[in-house]
């Protein structure tokens, strides 16, 4: 008669991972990479024609508009009135449409003054308006 309760030591479950197939696969991949790498680094020498250097674009001219905390407006460091600033903006939008306007204001300048200048530039047709600031690393 067969005794089912008798457990042989060889019938115990194996609780370890068999590493041999894993190592075999890794060695095959290593050999493939060793053989394939020199083929990837080889290149064909081609003489590419060189073009003459031509600059087709000229850098856009930039103008500085400054505001102080008293509300005074400066065009290129010269004091101007609001009407003169409008005229400058119109002249630039017609004659130099790619010109950049850099707006610089004191940190204590009321926002309404900055907004007024921005509105004047937009109404005159200025399309490139940027802000100038000093970065504070505190």
List pLDDT tens digits, range 5-54. Answer: 555 555 667 678 888 999 999 999 999 989 888 777 766 676 667 777 76
For residues 32 and 82, membership in a common domain is answered with no
Let me know if residue 11 belongs to a domain. no
For residues 76 and 120, membership in a common domain is answered with yes
Let me know if residue 46 belongs to a domain. no
**pLDDT in the model for residue 54:** 67
For residues 67 and 128, membership in a common domain is answered with yes
Q: pLDDT averaged over the chain?
A: 83
For residues 67 and 127, membership in a common domain is answered with yes
pLDDT above 60: residue 131: yes
Let me know if residue 37 belongs to a domain. yes
Distance CA 74, CA 66 (A): 5
CB atoms within 10 A of CB 47: 5
Q: What is the mean pLDDT of residues 96-125?
A: 90
**Number of folded domains that form the chain:** 2
User: Encoding tokens for residue 71?
Assistant: 């509300």
For residues 95 and 125, membership in a common domain is answered with yes
> What is residue 110's three-state secondary structure?
coil
For residues 77 and 106, membership in a common domain is answered with yes
For residues 31 and 69, membership in a common domain is answered with no
**pLDDT in the model for residue 9:** 56
**pLDDT in the model for residue 134:** 78
Structural domain boundaries enclosing 24: 17-41
Nearest alpha-carbon partner for 103 in 124, 73, 125: 73
Q: What is the mean pLDDT of residues 57-71?
A: 85
């Amino acid at each position: 008669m067969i005794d089912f309760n008798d457990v042989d030591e060889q019938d115990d479950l194996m609780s370890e991972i068999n590493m041999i197939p894993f190592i075999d696969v890794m060695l095959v991949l290593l050999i493939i990479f060793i053989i394939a790498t020199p083929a990837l680094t080889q290149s064909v020498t081609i003489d590419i024609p060189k073009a003459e250097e031509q600059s087709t674009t000229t850098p856009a001219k930039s103008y500085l508009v400054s505001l102080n905390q008293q509300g005074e407006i400066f065009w290129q460091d010269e004091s101007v009135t609001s009407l003169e600033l409008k005229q400058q903006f119109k002249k630039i939008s017609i004659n130099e449409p790619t010109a950049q306007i850099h707006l610089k204001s004191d940190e204590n300048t009321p926002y309404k003054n900055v907004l007024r200048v921005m509105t004047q530039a937009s109404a005159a047709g200025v399309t490139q308006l940027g802000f100038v600031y000093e970065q504070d690393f505190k």
